[in-house]
Amino acid sequence: MRYWVCLNGTLVPAEDAKVSVFDSGFMQGIGLFETMRAYNGRLFRLQRHLDRLANSAQELGWTTVPDLDEAADNVQQVLTATGAADARVRLTVTTGSLHPAAADTPGLTIVATASAGEKYPDECYTKGVTVLASECRQSLSDPTVGHKTTSYFPRLASLRRAHATGAFEVLWLTPDDHLAEGAISNIFVVRNDQLLTPPLETPVLPGITRATVLELAGAIGVPAQEAALTLDDLRGAEEAFVTNSMMELVPVVRLGRERIGNEKPGDLTRALGIAYGHLIDQECGG
């Protein structure tokens, strides 16, 4: 299978795609990205991903904000070229070249890539997964927290350590020990039949799947709200799950060696997962 890249609007084979060594993403780690999932050849909630990226560029003070129509065209080109009905698509945008010769004509670097499938194993959903608590902390004073930046190494390093012990995900806390989010996910808990998730101001990433789950909870009559949470809230939860665009909703049944609920995926998690599937069928075709 040939892999394609759309680089600044031009579709090229992956082996021919080149970005300047002076690019700000390479030199200074200045970049934003979105990971999206396509079903039946259509990207789920593409506009929300693009809006989040543009909002982050504005809030982080980028001189040039990505043109969303241009970004969408890059994404669609590479998805079409990949030819897969179900695909993982990534859009990466940096602030462009730092070379002096490019100073008078600043422009963003926009890269879209796609690959077929890459689904999580079925047992993640049927049996549930284990998560760990990270020793890392995230702080409101970090300007990149709450944004999907390419400066991702701390998250990946903590996740690799968790994977080395057999855990699926690792949870980050705030300096005052409030539950924030996973390294690559948002976290939800169910207590007293109510769905709870940390507030955006914790801070946490405004996940596209996170927002969708909150919408679905309202649609099926499940009480849901943002609330400050701790690890004790997770330990005492009836159910828990993590979300992102690729994993959708994955049940969490253990925190380390401690059981959560009855150590099985819960009814509410299952109901929300079914509702999420129906929404995909509605928006992307079933």
Q: What local confidence, expressed as pLDDT, does residue 61 receive?
A: 95
Length of the chain (residues): 286
Instruction: Please classify residue 101 by burial: count the beta carbons closer than 10 Å to its beta carbon, then call 0-12 exposed, 13-18 middle and 19+ buried.
Output: exposed
> What pLDDT score does 216 carry?
98
Specify the pLDDT at position 286: 64
Q: How many CB atoms lie within 10 A of CB 198?
A: 24
Whether this model's pTM surpasses 0.85: yes
Pairing of strands 129-137, 248-255: parallel
Quick one: tokens of 3?
Answer: 């892999």
Q: What would the pLDDT profile of 58-85 be if each residue is shown by its tens digit?
A: 999 999 999 999 999 999 999 999 999 9
Residue ranges of the chain whose pLDDT lies below 70? 1, 102-106, 286
Tell me how far CA of residue 20 lies from CA of 23, 48, 83, 185, in angstroms.
Answer: 5, 29, 28, 31
User: Tell me, what amino acid is at 244?
Assistant: N
Residue in 12, 36, 45 with CA at minimum distance from that of residue 280 = 45
Q: Are 162 and 130 in contact (CB under 8 A)?
A: no
* Coil/strand/helix, residue 41: coil
pLDDT digits (tens, 9 = 90+) for 89-130: 999 999 998 887 765 556 899 999 999 977 899 999 999 999
What pLDDT was estimated at residue 77?
A: 97
**Can you list the alpha helix ranges (DSSP code H) found in the chain?**
24-28, 46-59, 68-82, 123-126, 153-164, 208-219, 231-235, 267-284
> Which of helix, strand or coil describes residue 217?
helix
Which domains does the chain show, CATH number per domain?
4-116 (3.30.470.10), 123-284 (3.20.10.10)
Chain centre to alpha carbon of residue 9? 24
